[in-house]
């Protein structure tokens, strides 16, 4: 479980950097709907990662105590993604729907890059 918390903390830093770049892009370029869509999707993606961390902690605690495990909350995370897309379709003048979907995938891309970096670089130096 500590590895998952460490991965979450690294992903949180990466997503924070991306969000700050998106905010700068929204503020200083004429592509405001694109960057606002990326901001919305990435924010919901980060909330999904946080929800997964909470469920994983409960999962770990249940397994340690020998209790039954219900689920990891896939339905609630899918509902959060659906809410982000509904917001984007409700106000298309502010949000680009395709960029919202791309933002929803941001966390997974950050996690894959983090995994590759730690697999090839960090473990080879030990």
- 51, 77 in Cβ contact below 8 A? yes
29: left (phi over 0), alpha (psi -120 to 50) or beta: beta
Q: What is the pLDDT of residue 70?
A: 77
Q: What is the pLDDT of residue 126?
A: 57
Residue 49 has pLDDT above 90, yes or no: yes
Look-up: residue for tokens 């924010």? 43
Burial 21-46 (b: 16+ CB within 10 A, else e): ebeebbeeeeeebbbbbbbbbbbbbb
Q: What is the pLDDT of residue 64?
A: 87
pLDDT tens-place string over residues 71-126: 778 899 999 999 999 999 999 999 999 999 999 999 999 999 998 888 887 666 65
| Mean pLDDT, residues 21-28 taken together | 97
Residue 50 has pLDDT above 60, yes or no: yes
Name the residue with higher pLDDT: 1 or 20.
20
For residue 36, the 8-state DSSP code is H
């Amino acid at each position: 479980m500590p590895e998952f918390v460490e991965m979450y903390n690294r992903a949180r830093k990466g997503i924070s950097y991306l969000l700050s770049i998106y905010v700068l892009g929204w503020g200083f370029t004429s592509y405001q709907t694109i960057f606002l869509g990326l901001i919305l999707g990435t924010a919901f993606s980060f909330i999904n990662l946080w929800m997964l961390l909470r469920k994983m902690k409960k999962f770990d605690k249940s397994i340690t105590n020998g209790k039954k495990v219900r689920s990891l909350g896939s339905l609630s995370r899918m509902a959060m993604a659906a809410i982000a897309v509904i917001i984007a379709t409700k106000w298309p003048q502010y949000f680009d729907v395709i960029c919202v979907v791309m933002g929803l995938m941001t966390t997974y891309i950050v996690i894959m890059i983090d995994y590759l970096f730690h697999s090839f670089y960090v473990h080879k130096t030990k």
